[in-house]
């Protein structure tokens, strides 16, 4: 298959909620080609009227990097159709095998066209918030290789953003937890995100510069998961709480 044919196959799998077999092994996709397929797939969304709203980062856990045998982060693109309002009730029928994970979101206050260091990155962010990301691989059994997941836009599916607050640079050791129907199911520290969630934005500036992808004022950046993701079931209330930041939640039916 051509890269455009693979992008179309992944796009249709997402739209029709029908999983497909892994592709990278049989199609001999390189990581660079996988990112190109990702962009082709996002372009199909844009052609349907969706607008890009930012980026999500993956493999922000050192342990996850080692598990996958990689030495760098991966990233996907967010669109407005993925946005879920706080406390909104959404149907599970729009997804294949969705999972939720707690995150920290940041908002850029200016365009970024170069790699920025940790000591300066707070000058490029005006707000932060507790967030939930919903991931949903388009592959059968939620199984995939590195190239597969990148081509599939890093499983990007949905996101919920809590109340925006001013950026505090001291956020590397905050408690973060995920709750289902009022019961705590996962707990962790923000240090699980590259030792400091702000480092994720730093890494994104580097990766975006390398890929010649502009980061724009107003873009949202999901810094990466702080705990394991939890599989979603019908009629659940999903909530994330972050120390000093507050909480955010949504419902599924």
Tokens of residue 248, six digits: 């955010």
Give the end-to-end CA distance of the chain in Å, rounded to a whole number.
37
Quote the pTM value. Answer: 0.93
Closest CA to 6 of 57, 21, 64: 21
Neighbours of 189 (CB within 10 A): 15
Could you give phi then psi for residue 229, rounded to 5 degrees?
Answer: -80, 145
Task: Tell me the pairing of strands 230-231 and 220-222.
Answer: unpaired
Could you tell me which residues come within 8 angstroms of residue 23 by beta carbon, excluding any fewer than 6 positions away? Answer: 1, 6, 9, 10, 29, 148, 151
Tokens of residue 163, six digits: 């109340």
pLDDT in tens, the chain (253 residues): 899 999 999 999 999 999 999 887 788 899 999 999 999 999 999 999 999 999 999 988 765 555 555 567 899 999 999 999 999 999 999 999 999 999 999 999 999 999 999 999 999 999 999 999 999 999 998 888 889 999 999 999 999 999 999 998 789 899 999 999 999 999 999 999 999 999 999 999 999 999 899 999 999 999 999 998 999 999 999 999 999 999 999 999 9
Domains and CATH numbers, the chain: 3-252 (3.90.850.10)
Strand partners, 118: none
Tens digits of per-residue pLDDT, 193-241?
A: 999 999 999 999 999 999 899 999 999 999 999 998 999 999 999 999 9
């Amino acid at each position: 298959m051509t890269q455009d044919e693979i992008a179309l196959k992944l796009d249709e799998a997402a739209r029709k909620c029908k999983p497909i077999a892994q592709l990278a092994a049989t199609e001999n996709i390189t990581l660079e080609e996988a990112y190109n397929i990702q962009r082709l797939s996002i372009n199909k969304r844009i052609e349907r009227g969706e607008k890009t709203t930012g980026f999500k980062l993956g493999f922000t856990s050192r342990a996850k990097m080692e598990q996958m045998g990689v030495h760098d982060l991966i990233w996907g693109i967010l669109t407005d159709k993925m946005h879920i309002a706080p406390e909104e009730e959404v149907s599970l029928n729009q997804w294949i095998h969705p999972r939720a994970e707690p995150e920290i979101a940041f908002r850029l206050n200016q365009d970024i066209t170069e790699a920025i260091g940790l000591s300066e990155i707070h000058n490029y962010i005006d707000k932060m918030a507790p967030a939930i990301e919903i991931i949903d691989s388009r592959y059968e059994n939620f199984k995939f290789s590195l190239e597969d997941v990148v081509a599939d836009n890093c499983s990007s599916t949905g996101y919920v953003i809590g109340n925006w607050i001013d950026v505090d640079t001291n956020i590397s050791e905050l408690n973060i937890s995920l709750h289902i129907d009022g019961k705590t199911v996962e707990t962790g520290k923000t240090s699980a995100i590259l030792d400091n969630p702000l480092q994720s934005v730093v890494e994104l500036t580097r990766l975006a510069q390398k890929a010649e992808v502009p980061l724009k004022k107003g873009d949202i950046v999901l810094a990466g998961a702080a705990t394991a993701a939890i599989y979603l079931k019908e009629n659940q209330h999903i909530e994330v709480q972050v120390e000093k930041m507050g909480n955010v939640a949504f419902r599924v039916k």
